[in-house]
């Protein structure tokens, strides 16, 4: 066990649920996974003691996107905030390949990737380093026996709190009412986060400069109304 990690934390990959690859990658995507990903992939064999050293521009601000899907939102944010270092986590290799294509197309130098569980990156980061974390339309794991797989558990909120600075925002979007309620219950009992919403408009409207994702477009077309929650680290 490394003494610089939080208590009882070791670098053992977290268990992942569901598929990690769907259809066969296109030739271009395969080449990106083989040639570009090794340069952008995080080395979690040791703690990420100096996150700024991972990026050529030595950023002072760091954001994370958990489960970035095809990477559209992450790439757009990284393009508009090139002074920010982004950590993107996605276990689905097809999504990683799509994100790599966007990174290459825009020549983005401020993204580092982990093709695996975001919890492994969170446990490797130093304290109070993240100023924003996105979790957009995660798998709701709808069956009761699956609820333990939902990302924003009590334990994960504690782990996130360690690496988020005071005032940092945890931004969560979902189109599943039950998942929203489940997460809110855990936020409201968390000693580390507050939900500063004052009215329904605070979660009905997306964040400023929001770029919709493909999943959100599908949800809207099927009649599901998204909710956008902003939780703040105490």
Say whether 139 is catalytic.
yes
| Neighbour-count burial of 80, counting CB atoms closer than 10 A to its CB (0-12 exposed, 13-18 middle, 19+ buried) | exposed
**How many angstroms separate the CA atoms of 109 and 187, rounded?**
34
Q: Are 180 and 174 in contact (CB under 8 A)?
A: yes
Phi, psi (degrees; rounded to nearest 5) at 62: -135, 135
Of 120, 139, 192, 202, which is the active-site residue? 139
Phi, psi (degrees; rounded to nearest 5) at 89: -125, 130
User: Hey, which residues does 87 pair with through a beta bridge?
Assistant: 64, 112
Name the residues annotated as catalytic. Answer: 139
């Amino acid at each position: 066990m490394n003494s610089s990690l939080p208590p009882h934390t070791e670098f053992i990959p977290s268990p992942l649920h569901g598929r990690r690859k769907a259809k066969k990658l296109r030739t271009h995507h395969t080449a990106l996974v083989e040639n570009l990903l090794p340069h952008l992939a995080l080395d979690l064999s040791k703690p990420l003691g100096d996150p700024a050293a991972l990026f050529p521009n030595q950023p002072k601000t760091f954001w994370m996107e958990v489960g970035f899907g095809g990477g559209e939102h992450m790439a757009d944010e990284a393009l508009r905030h090139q002074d920010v270092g982004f950590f993107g986590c996605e276990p689905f290799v097809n999504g990683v390949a799509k994100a790599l294509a966007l990174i290459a197309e825009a020549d983005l130098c401020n993204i580092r990737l982990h093709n695996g569980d975001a919890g492994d990156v969170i446990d490797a980061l130093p304290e109070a380093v993240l100023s924003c974390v996105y979790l957009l339309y995660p798998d709701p794991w709808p069956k009761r026996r699956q609820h333990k797989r939902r990302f924003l558990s009590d334990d994960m909120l504690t782990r996130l709190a360690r690496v988020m600075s005071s005032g940092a925002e945890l931004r969560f979007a979902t189109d599943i009412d039950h998942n929203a309620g489940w997460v809110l219950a855990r936020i409201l009992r968390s000693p580390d986060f507050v939900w500063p919403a004052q009215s329904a408009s605070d979660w009905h409207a997306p964040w400023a400069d929001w770029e919709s994702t493909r999943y959100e477009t599908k949800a809207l077309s099927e009649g599901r109304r998204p909710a956008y929650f902003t939780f703040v680290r105490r």
